[in-house]
Amino acid sequence: MHAIGLRCVFCQTLYPLAPLYECEACQGILEVTYAQENIEEPRAWLPIAGENRIYLGEGDTKLLSAERLAKRLGVKSLQLKCEFMNPTGSFKDRPVSIGISKAIEFGYQKVIAASSGNGAASVAAYAARAGLEAIILVPDSTPLEKVKQTLAYGAKVIRVTGPYSNCFSLAKQLGESQNIFNLTTTLLNPYTVEGNKVVAYELYEQMSGTIPDVIYVPIGAGPLLIGIYKGYVEKSQYHVSTKMPRMAGIQAEGNNPIATAFVQGEPVVQAEPDPRTIAGGIADGLVGYEKDGTYTLQIVKQSNGFVTDVPDSLILQAQMLLAGEEGVFVEPSAAAGIAGLMKSLEENRITENDSVVVVLTGHGLKDMGNVRVASDVPTIDHCMEQLIEAVDI
């Protein structure tokens, strides 16, 4: 293990590797920092010792080439990083695996998390695996599929009225007052973000050391986008190529605080108190932790990337395109990445010759309420004539 401490990303103050959530000096975001030793290239730098890892088979997700969809959208190279193939069906398993492992290391019996659903299921699953108690706060609009999945793992689930930010502040207060480890997977817990770096390490290997021109990531607060970029930065220390991917952060039009700041050229992100989108996984208005959005914006700019927002109608269209053209069914929050690709091609933010990776964050079965499929499925008797008529051969 080469992690040596936590560092504030804004004022650079250093702290020990303790259960801390923000900089005491400036309330900034804390990030794990590593010793710059002349060591052999690691598979990944993570803030835990290998033997302490609580593991459910997360990671090593497939990278699928999407040739038919690429042709349809007008881009030459499109690859899909299938994070919905993780054990609980979303990318959250990578950060949560690290977070739960740290909870054990720090000696906690209980963990708490505010989540829009994917983090909830993941924290509940890994807590069960580790023998810890999990308290999960979700917005009352959370899809039933995600709530039931979380309950199945034995977690204590509480619905909170209003937007996700309400869950965030309650979880933070309860965690602090009751000394419960907070695994909320925004940028609050510095250890969880590290798990996201491994996506970059895997992409590097899966693409034989070539770097994609653009990586699309749906973003609420943005820990996945930050983690992937950080992973490439670390990787670049060991290789001659200095090329870095441009990071494309995709938001929904009904909740676009980071996209708005990007478009208006503002350095600081303002919260969205009333998010309205079907993409629940990215419906994070950042109330009370706008700094997460500001840092994500900084990373996007550093990568020479961009943030854009997409309407729900385009998200649903992208969801059906991906399922119909490639056989890949993801939830609306994940389809937002494909919708973002469609919009940015139209706006010439990228060219058709760019090599593109879209990170697909969550499985389609997790949020079925808005799926746009025909509801008039015919029912017939056990009868061949009726079947022939029904299938219209």
- Judged by CB under 5 A, the residue of 7, 17, 22, 28 near Zn ion is 28
Q: How far is the CB of 136 from Zn ion (least distance, A)?
A: 29
Closest approach, Cβ 13 to Zn ion, in A, equals 5
Q: Is 213 helix (H, G, I), strand (E, B) or coil?
A: coil
Residue number, 14 or 383, with CB nearest to Zn ion? 14
Rounded Cα distance, 291 and 303, in Å = 18
> Are 316 and 332 spatial neighbours (Cβ–Cβ below 8 Å)?
yes
Residue 8 or 322 with smaller CB distance to Zn ion: 8
Instruction: Give min distance, CB of 11 to Zn ion, in A.
Output: 3
Closest CB 269 distance from Zn ion, rounded Å: 17
Whether the Cβ atoms of residue 155 and residue 171 lie closer than 8 Å to each other: no
Binding residue for Zn ion, selected from 6, 7, 22, 23, defined by CB under 5 A: 23
Applying the rule CB under 5 A, the residues between 44 and 103 that interact with Zn ion are: none
Q: Which is nearer to Zn ion, 8 or 66 (CB)?
A: 8
Nearer to Zn ion, 28 or 227 (CB): 28
List strand residue ranges (DSSP E) for 20-168, in order.
30-34, 63-65, 77-82, 110-114, 133-139, 156-160
Whole-number Å distance between alpha carbons of 216 and 364:
18
> Among 8, 155, 225, 228, which residue sits at the site for Zn ion (rule: CB under 5 A)?
8
State yes or no: residue 190 binds Zn ion (CB under 5 A). Answer: no
Kindly report each contact of residues 9-14 with a partner whose C-beta sits within 8 Å and lies 24 or more positions away, as own/partner.
9/295, 10/291, 10/295
Cβ-based neighbours of 183, under 8 Å, separated by 6 or more: 96, 99, 100, 103, 111, 112, 113, 119, 123, 189, 192
Q: Tell me: does residue 144 bind Zn ion (CB under 5 A).
A: no
Q: Kindly state whether residue 14 participates in binding Zn ion, applying the rule CB under 5 A.
A: no
* Closest-CA residue to 104 (of 40, 176, 28, 52): 52
- The closest of 87, 127, 101 to 192, measured between CA atoms, is 101
When asked if residue 345 is in the footprint of Zn ion (CB under 5 A), the reply is: no
Q: Is 160 in the site for Zn ion (CB under 5 A)?
A: no
User: DSSP string of 55-94?
Assistant: -SS-----EEE-HHHHHHHT-SEEEEEEGGGSTTSBTTHH
Closest distance of CB 24 from Zn ion, Å: 8
- Using rule CB under 5 A, residue 25 touches Zn ion: yes
The answer to whether 29 contacts Zn ion (rule: CB under 5 A) is: no
Which of 8-16, 45-53, 263-271, 275-283 is the region at the interface with Zn ion (rule: CB under 5 A)? Answer: 8-16
Binding flag, residue 9, Zn ion (CB under 5 A) = no
**Residues near 298 by Cβ (< 8 Å), separated by ≥ 6?**
none
Q: Specify the residue, 15 or 55, whose C-beta has the smaller distance to Zn ion.
A: 15
Name residue, tokens 């990278």. Answer: 63
- Is residue 26 part of the contact set for Zn ion (CB under 5 A)? yes
| Cα radius of gyration rounded to whole Å, the chain | 21
Check binding of 11 to Zn ion (CB under 5 A): yes
Q: Per CB under 5 A, does 130 bind Zn ion?
A: no
Number of chain positions touching Zn ion (CB under 5 A): 8
Contact status, residue 112 vs residue 177, Cβ threshold 8 Å: no
Q: Does 368 bind Zn ion (CB under 5 A)?
A: no
Q: What is the C-alpha to C-alpha distance for residues 168 and 176, in angstroms, rounded to an integer?
A: 12
Q: Is 152 in the site for Zn ion (CB under 5 A)?
A: no
In angstroms, what is the minimal distance from the CB of 229 to Zn ion? 20
CB of 20 or CB of 26, closer to Zn ion: 26
**Residues near Zn ion (CB under 5 A):** 8, 10-11, 13, 23, 25-26, 28
